[in-house]
Structure 1
C-alpha cells in the first residue's frame, strides 16, 4: 500500500512538473506560441503571409479563413497591394483588434524623415486601424535611416508597437548602419529561411541584439516548385507522423524558435498549415532536418537587382 502511495505521489509530481513547463510558454487560444520581443511586446510566432494574394477581395477571404482557423498574426505590406483586404477581414471577423497582430511594411519610395510619418498614416487608413503591431522597412534601399527616425516617432505617438527590418541580410553594411543609427532597435528581422537555407550567420547576428527572426518562404514559395515538399528526409518524417511535408517543415520552424508566416490562398492549405501544435518532432528528427542546410536560397536577387526593382515600382 505504501508503495502504491509513493507511485501516485511521484506521478502527481511528474504531471505537475509537466504542467508547469507548459505554463511557462505563453500561447494563443489556438496553441500558437507567443514570443516576448526585445521591447517587451508579445507576438504570436505563427501567422499568414499575404504576398501574391491576387487582389484585396482574395486577401480578405484568405484572412477570414485564417482568423476562423485560429490565426492571430497577419503579415502584409504596401507593396502587396492587399492591406485593404487585411483591414476588411479584421473588421468583419468580429475578433477584438487587440487579439490580432498586424504586420505591414513601408516601401523605399516612402522612406525619409518627414515623409514616412505621412506614409504611416496612409497605411493606417488602408488597414482601418489606429495602430500597427509591427512595422518594417521592406528593403534596405534608399533613405531607410530617415524612415526609421519617423518610425520611432510613430512608436512614441502610439501608432506602431514594434519596429522591424525586412531583407537586411543583403550585406553587413546595411545591417550595421540601421543598428548604429537607430534609437529604438529592431525587434524582428524578416528574411528568407527554410530547411535548405537555415541562415545560421544571420541568426547569430540577430541573436546578439535579441532580435526575433521571422521567416518568409518557409516552404520554399511558388518559385521553388515544391522542392522542399519533395525532400526525402522531410517526406519520411511526415509519413511517420501522419502529417503533410508542409506541416513538418512549419513545425521545424516553430521548434527552432523562429516566427513563421506561410502564405496561402486555398482554404484547405490555410487550415492545414496551422495544425502543427498537436505533435512534436523528436531531437533526432530536428537534427535530420538541420542536416539538410546548404544555404540554398530560392530568391537569389542581388542588392543591385533589388534596387532596380524598387525604383521601377510605383505605389
Structure 2
C-alpha cells in the first residue's frame, strides 16, 4: 500500500474503502471485513451513513491491528453546535468501539461550521482524533469558513474524477498542502467515463480495466481515493493500481477530459436547507 503525508505529518493510505450507502444490515460488516482481508487499510464512514458500528465490529473481528487501519468518520450537520459536536465525537467513538479515530471531518459546510471545527480541534488535542478535515467545501465555501479556523484542515473530501478535476479548488488548497480526498472517484460508475475512448485505449495498453486507469490517474494527481464496492473482485481490482504508471503525455490527455462539472453543487441555492433536514442521526439513539 502507498501512503500520502498530510500537512499535520500523519501518513494516510492512498487507497481506501468507502461505505456510503452500504446498509447496516450486516452488509457493511461483510464488505469491510472482506476489504481488510484483501489488504485495504483505510475505511471511510460517517454518522450519517448509520454504519459506524458495523465498521467497528469488522475492524475488531478482522484480526488486523487497530494501529494498522486508518478510520475516518464524519460529523453531521445537526451536531455542529459546539456542545453537540463534543457529544457526537464521543458517540462515534462509542459506535466504532475505538479509543480514537484517525480522521474526523465536517461532513457538510453549512450551519455552525466554526463551532464544530473548534470541537474537532479540541478532540484532536485530547487524542480522540489524529487528523481533522472538511468535506464538500467549494472554493467559495472554503474562503467563507476556513479563514475563521485557528488551524488548517488536513483534507477536503469532495467529488473528484477525470470529468470533474476541481482545478480551482486545488489551486486554493495547494499552498497549505491540504489533500483532496475523492468521493465518487469513478464517477459513481459513470458509463460515459468508464467507456471513454481515451481511458479504454490506456486500459488496453496496460492490460487494466477502465476503473483501474481512472484510479491510477487520480493517485498520480495526488488524490486520496476510496472507491466503494461490495463485490470481492472489484474491491481487489481497485487496489491493483501500483504496478503500472501513466506517462506525462497520458496524464495530460486525461487532464484534458475535465468538464468542471460534477453531480453535486454545494453552492447551489437550496442545498443547505435540504441537507440540514436530510437525516436525523439520533433517530435510533
Shorter chain as denominator, the TM-score bin is over 0.9
- 1:131–1:158: 8 Å Cα contact kept in structure 2? yes
Of 136, 140, 149 in structure 2, the residue corresponding to residue 182 of structure 1 is 149
SS in 1 for 2:71: strand
Cα shift at 1:287: 1.4
- 1:56–1:83: 8 Å Cα contact kept in structure 2? no
Question: Pairwise mapping of residues 119-138 of structure 1 onto structure 2 (< 5 A)?
Answer: 119-138=88-107
Question: Pairwise mapping of residues 235-254 of structure 1 onto structure 2 (< 5 A)?
Answer: 235-254=200-219
Alignment partner, residue 64 of structure 1:
33
Which 4+ residue blocks in structure 1 deviate beyond 6 angstroms?
A: none
Cα shift at 1:56: 4.6
What CA distance in whole angstroms lies between the structure 2 residues aligned with 1:284 and 1:70? 31
Given the two structures, how large is their TM-score scaled by the length of structure 1?
Answer: 0.86
Instruction: State the Cα RMSD in Å.
Output: 1.3
1:164 partnered with 2:133: yes
Q: Which runs of 5+ in 2 are unaligned?
A: none
Cα shift at 1:154: 0.3
Alignment partner, residue 216 of structure 1:
183
What CA distance in whole angstroms lies between the structure 2 residues aligned with 1:221 and 1:45? 19
Of 185, 193, 196 in structure 1, the residue corresponding to residue 160 of structure 2 is 193
1:311 partnered with 2:277: yes
Give CA-to-partner distance per residue, 1:60-87, whole Å, 9 cap, x none: 1111111111111011111111111110
Alignment partner, residue 273 of structure 1:
238
Higher helix residue share: 1
What CA distance in whole angstroms lies between the structure 1 residues aligned with 2:269 and 2:72? 24
| Alignment size in residue pairs | 280
Give CA-to-partner distance per residue, 1:97-117, whole Å, 9 cap, x none: 011000011100011112211
Of 149, 155, 158 in structure 1, the residue corresponding to residue 124 of structure 2 is 155
What CA distance in whole angstroms lies between the structure 2 residues aligned with 1:298 and 1:305? 13
What CA distance in whole angstroms lies between the structure 1 residues aligned with 2:247 and 2:278? 46
Alignment partner, residue 110 of structure 1:
79
1:51 partnered with 2:20: yes
SS in 2 for 1:133: strand
Q: Which moved more, 1:179-188 or 1:133-142?
A: 179-188
Given the two structures, how large is their TM-score scaled by the length of structure 2?
Answer: 0.95
- 1:56–1:81: 8 Å Cα contact kept in structure 2? no
Cα shift at 1:299: 2.7
What CA distance in whole angstroms lies between the structure 2 residues aligned with 1:56 and 1:109? 24
